[in-house]
Structure 1
Amino acid sequence: MSGIKRTMIILPATLVYFLVMLDSSIISTAIPQITDEFNSLLDVGWYGSAYQLASSAFVPLAGKIYIFFPIKWSFIVFFTVFELGSALCGAAQSSPMLIVGRAIAGLGASGLMNGILTILAAILPPHKLPRVMGLNVALGQVGLACGPLIGGALTEYATWRWCFYINLPVGALVGALLLSLRIPEINTKPPAYEVLHTAMSSMDLFGLVLLWPSAIMFFLALQWGGNQYAWNSAMVIGLFVGAAITSGLFLTWEYHYGDNALLPFSMLRNRVIYSASATMFFFMGVMLTAYYYLPIYFQAVKGDSPLMSGVHILPSIISQVLVTMSTGTLIQRVGYYLPNVLTGTALASIAYGLYSTFSPSTSVGKWIGYQIIGGAGSGATSPGSYIAIQNSVPRAAIPTAMAILILCQNLGSAIFLTVAQSIFSNSLQNHLRTQAPGVDVQAVIQGGARMLRPLVPAQELPSVLQAYSRAIDAVMYLGAGLGVAAFGCAWGLGFKDIRKKGEEGK
């Protein structure tokens, strides 16, 4: 496949990737308004992690679906579910309804990212993948980076609900394009009735049944600990123990199930696969933590509107987009992806260390400069792991390998957004009690991030803003640690010249 036919497939696939990544961050600048409307500041972590959790839990199954069912129709089904979740989020009348909608959208997204990478592998020779993958990831990062700005504008001048409704008209266009295109298969697919007849064994549905409860119990423990229940309560401890037991059962089952498992251990032993997956596990937490908590800093501490909070993270957006768009081409020319990943993770760690110094009096020059460093770090890191895997496994194994990578990065996003929320909420309560003892802590928390000034007496406001700032600083310590962990994992990607593989494929 070449020429216009290939381009007509790449365009809608890239647009879908843009929408999925946009959906991951567009809610960030709308969250303060949502918490005001639903009185749900303690649910902030769930607005991001419900999406990532659902996506993580279904990613292994999505990889299996692309192996056994036609790529085109599998992709369209997942995209329909994603659009349904977006519609439900836009129509949400309560915080739980919004969380459910986010989970349904995440379920659809679980198959979209894997599907896009599978489609690109099906229509492109290996030596052309880095440049197209770099462009694809770059546009996805544009969506991730521009999400807060778009979300802020929609929240201020329309309604936060359009942060989700925006997916629907674009989705209709993409759906029409996809229906009219023929997408080639990487390998021959068995008849659907044969797959359905043996689904329990061929698709490892029992493994999926073990994976879901372990993930749900773990996230409930993180969310409830220190908020609804004490960390040493029987409820929280029981959830952690239950998650550990079911995770152990899942891994044991996967080990004995062999190559038909959701996570084949034969692939997990591949150094590039487990290094790339571990790198993205930590690094997605790095990227999303900033996009969720910088807008809270600007809106709560600096008093920005939703739009201006998006404008004020433009330094991060612009630097990330520019660096990401040049990274794919640079890797294809130089041949090595590891230097970009190491440089990016190091810069991101430094940026988070600088973010942790934010206070109500931080100057404009500092928060602009710090964000440029962080955005450049995110942009340099993002494409490397995808390119590494696609140049390290046979083409027929790419859906499974990508499922492992996407599972790890989504799991990291969900875990660390929940951890960040736990750190933020517990730290905020502690700082409010010590620095503003005359303030009703629960009223401040339930009021939401943008209601501080109307709720808090003028004489107490500086102390409350300082408490908010210190709680956000505590979250930034987490980001710095995750960046260091990603830097350590990235060394396993190795120094491999992908140009040699490209020359063999010509």
Structure 2
Amino acid sequence: MKSNAKFTPSDQYLVGPKLFTLLGSLTLVTFLVCLDTSIMGTAIPRITSEFHSLPDVGWYIGAFTLASATLQPLSGKLYTHFSTKVGNAFSLGSVTPLIVWQIVFLTFVFLFELGSLLCGVASSSAALIVGRVVAGLGASGIVNGAMTMLAGAVPMEKSPVYTGIVLGTAQMGIVAGPLIGGALTEHATWRWCTLSYVLFTSSEADVGSIAGFYMNLPIGGVAAALIAFVPVPERISKSRFTISLIREVIPDLDLFGFTLFVPSSIMLLLALQLGSGGTYAWNSSTVIGLWCGAGVCAVLFIFWENRMEDKAMLPGKLLGKRVVWTSCVYASCIITCMMTASIWMPTYFQAVRGNGPTDSGVHVLPSILSQLVVVIGTGAAVSRMGYYLPWALTGGIITAVGNGLVSTFTASTSTAVWIGYQIVMGAGRGCGMQMAIIAVQNAVPPAQYPVALASLVFFQNLSTSIAVVIANTIFAQTLTSTITRYVPSISPQAVLDAGSGASAVRALVPPEELDGMLRAYSQSLRNVFYFLVGIACLAVFASLGMGLKDIRKKSGKSEGDVVMDEICEDGKKSEEP
């Protein structure tokens, strides 16, 4: 299909109340995704104890991110070929704006909420993982869609500060997640951690009723309704929605590539999971078969993608650009460090220090708050100074140092130390969090924004799903060996089955052997953060290829000042057709 998309400079950027409304609605939906990344962390130790499923820890996050990764490229294609607003795609005549829904966008949000409900009613670890898969499928189109709309709504040189506002404010979900998750897990049940998404998104929340879930208006629907009142500019012109357009677009979605990628990823994660969890030996025919199957599918996928060229799920020409592929690597490293730490920091506070879920949620706030403050500050700094590379490089270095410092935590680490080291780690992640998005937006033409951003988020989710399973493998293997050394009276499998909750860990051994148990947990966590140090160092090297570019020159400006009163301006446009 030949794309009819072309850059339309006559599109007018948003200012005043319309810009404020768009920013608010996009922040609402990205808040949900951010909440999901952190609310499970403090609940995981209790979940592993209830389901006797410590080897499944990697899947609670990995299933979500893998499912999200599988649909990321397809969501990018959808946002490329179809208007982000149904009102732009259909001829609706005099129909009231209240029913002009963003069908694609809202569908992703609905899937996300449905997955959350499935998690809340899960009766086993496997059922919980299925719910996480459904939620991940929904999340796949949320951040990409939000960033695509934002890219068309504001001038490119001002995009960093607005991206920082949306992502930074949405990351309040990361701040609230551990607190909410810990409190619900300790004083009610961990199941409310997943059902809380439905609570937050329900106007008359009777979460026990399936009918109520379908009837009540989710927060994503509220956000889409708000956007319906805002004429979000399209950076490229798009055809109206017709059946013939669907027939033309389907071949461009690369569904065959999709069917090759999914089994390859699943077999890879299964091989890591089954081998590390003790279910099968690493040299068993099952694990070896999974490795071989993953490799064959991966080779076929690469061959097919190369053959499809520009129609590929992951276009080779696009990913071949140095700025694009190095940005993908960089973003993957930073998000991997954040997501993996969000799992294992609560485990440290609960298993090693003996804190409850609520306290562990409070204790991880130093890293989250420092990340939140820095991500907003660096967005404004890039808009003013024009260069993103220094911040990307600095972010990678500080993240590596921060993870290295956290790896020294033991049962006797002082409060001042664990607070200070977490602040360093969070500041590093915040410094680099949005730099890859800024780099990619300034490296590709507007017609490629959706696919480029989808590819970026795709690699973030894919790398995270693999990394959390690898981290879980490192933890489980180290714990198995150190338990044998420090607490020989107990079976390593019994420790894995018990989970990582504070009471479960302490119930396994008599008081005189507890020090050995805590030492084994500390060393296992230390090796996980060693792994993250290596990931952060890779981010440092990747940042060097992201390009030293002054993004202010895109619009011919030599000054980088960003006028923040645009949010408060009246309906004047910054550009006239």
Give the TM bin, normalised by the shorter chain: over 0.9
Aligned to 2:182: 152
Aligned to 2:492: 441
Aligned to 2:167: 137
- 1:390 alignment partner AA: Q
1-structure distance, mates of 2:57, 2:435: 30
2:162 pairs with 1:116: no
- 1:418 alignment partner AA: V
Preserved contact between residue 254 and residue 265 of structure 1 (Cα < 8 Å): yes
Following superposition, the deviation at residue 166 of structure 1 comes to 1.9
Following superposition, the deviation at residue 179 of structure 1 comes to 3.0
CA spacing shift, 1:323–1:188, aligned 2, 3 Å: same
Preserved contact between residue 156 and residue 307 of structure 1 (Cα < 8 Å): yes
2:95 pairs with 1:42: no
Q: Which runs of 5+ in 2 are unaligned?
A: 1-13, 85-101, 202-217, 558-573
CA spacing shift, 1:145–1:346, aligned 2, 3 Å: farther
Alignment partner of 2:550 out of 484, 497, 500: 497
- 2:369 alignment partner AA: I
Alignment partner of 1:3 out of 10, 16, 28: 16
Preserved contact between residue 82 and residue 238 of structure 2 (Cα < 8 Å): no
5 Å-filtered alignment, 1:39-118, equals 39-71=52-84, 72-118=102-148
Following superposition, the deviation at residue 440 of structure 1 comes to 2.9
Alignment partner of 1:216 out of 235, 245, 266: 266
Aligned to 1:174: 220
Preserved contact between residue 349 and residue 484 of structure 1 (Cα < 8 Å): yes
2-structure distance, mates of 1:174, 1:111: 12
2-structure distance, mates of 1:64, 1:55: 15
Alignment partner of 1:461 out of 506, 514, 518: 514
Q: Secondary structure at the match of 1:495?
A: coil
Deviations 1:240-274 (A, max 9, x none): 12111111111111111111111111101111111
CA spacing shift, 1:146–1:413, aligned 2, 3 Å: farther
CA spacing shift, 1:145–1:461, aligned 2, 3 Å: same
Aligned to 2:401: 350
2-structure distance, mates of 1:115, 1:387: 16
2-structure distance, mates of 1:487, 1:198: 42
Aligned to 1:391: 442
Identical counterparts, % of pairs:
44
Q: Secondary structure at the match of 1:459?
A: helix
- 1:179 alignment partner AA: A
2-structure distance, mates of 1:190, 1:264: 25
2-structure distance, mates of 1:85, 1:372: 33
2-structure distance, mates of 1:180, 1:436: 58
1-structure distance, mates of 2:174, 2:282: 33
1-structure distance, mates of 2:197, 2:165: 21
1-structure distance, mates of 2:105, 2:298: 29
Alignment partner of 1:235 out of 286, 290, 298: 286
2:321 pairs with 1:270: yes
Following superposition, the deviation at residue 199 of structure 1 comes to 4.7
1-structure distance, mates of 2:116, 2:535: 30
Aligned to 2:210: none
Task: Report the RMSD for the aligned CA atoms in angstroms.
Answer: 1.6
2-structure distance, mates of 1:423, 1:177: 41
Following superposition, the deviation at residue 429 of structure 1 comes to 0.9
Following superposition, the deviation at residue 379 of structure 1 comes to 0.7
Aligned to 2:4: none
Q: Normalized per residue, which structure has more helix?
A: 1
CA spacing shift, 1:82–1:431, aligned 2, 3 Å: same
Q: Secondary structure at the match of 2:512?
A: coil
Preserved contact between residue 106 and residue 220 of structure 2 (Cα < 8 Å): no
5 Å-filtered alignment, 1:344-423, equals 344-423=395-474
- 1:193 alignment partner AA: I
Following superposition, the deviation at residue 173 of structure 1 comes to 3.5
5 Å-filtered alignment, 1:236-255, equals 236-255=287-306
Preserved contact between residue 346 and residue 377 of structure 1 (Cα < 8 Å): yes
Q: Secondary structure at the match of 1:4?
A: helix
1-structure distance, mates of 2:167, 2:222: 23
Q: Which runs of 5+ in 1 are unaligned?
A: none
2:244 pairs with 1:194: yes
The number of aligned residues is 506
Indicate the structure (1 or 2) with the bigger Cα radius of gyration: 2
Following superposition, the deviation at residue 2 of structure 1 comes to 3.2
Q: Secondary structure at the match of 2:141?
A: helix
1-structure distance, mates of 2:22, 2:434: 20
Moved over 4 A (4+): none
**What is the TM-score with the length of structure 2 in the denominator?**
0.85
Deviations 1:403-454 (A, max 9, x none): 1100111111111101001111111111111111011322222112120112
- 1:7 alignment partner AA: F
1-structure distance, mates of 2:330, 2:223: 34
